């Protein structure tokens, strides 16, 4: 499987996933990260600029970890079967390791719609 982490500065997990153009993509084999590569998108390929109907370089990841993203983007990712997670963790390696161990602290870095907001799985 693959896990993408927003990292506009290539060091920490950054906010605004929709505008982010640099992602660390981790390759996971049998529950362990086996390597990571930097994916750099041109501006028109950022989620913000690209159409949900078009194929996207991140379509083949299963999980996207970011510091924040808007509700539109999480819905768009969910529609493609991608789990969108927001975390306060700033280190990409630690976040991926924690996610794999089931210990990643996730929270909403975006607006919360209250109790009537249902997450569809």
Q: What are phi and psi of 41, to 5 degrees?
A: -100, 145
The reported pTM is: 0.87
- Helical H runs in 1-121? 71-79, 92-101
Query: pLDDT digit string (tens) for 35-91?
Result: 999 999 999 999 999 999 999 999 999 999 999 999 999 999 999 999 999 999 999
Domain boundaries defined on the chain: 2-101
The Cα–Cα gap between 74 and 26 comes to 20
The Cα–Cα gap between 39 and 109 comes to 23
Over 60: is that where the pLDDT of 116 sits?
A: no
Q: Domain 2-101 belongs to what topology?
A: Nucleotidyltransferase; domain 5 (3.30.420)
């Amino acid at each position: 499987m693959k896990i993408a982490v927003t990292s506009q500065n290539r060091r920490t997990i950054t906010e605004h996933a929709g505008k982010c153009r640099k992602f660390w993509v981790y390759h996971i084999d049998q529950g362990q990260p086996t390597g990571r590569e930097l994916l750099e998108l041109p501006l028109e390929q950022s989620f913000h600029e690209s159409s949900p109907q078009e194929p996207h370089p991140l379509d083949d990841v299963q999980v996207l970890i970011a510091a924040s993203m808007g509700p539109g983007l999480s819905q768009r990712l969910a529609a493609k079967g991608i789990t969108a997670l927001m975390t306060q963790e700033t280190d990409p390696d630690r976040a991926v390791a924690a996610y794999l161990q089931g210990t990643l602290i996730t929270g909403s870095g975006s607006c919360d719609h209250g109790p009537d907001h249902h997450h569809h799985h």
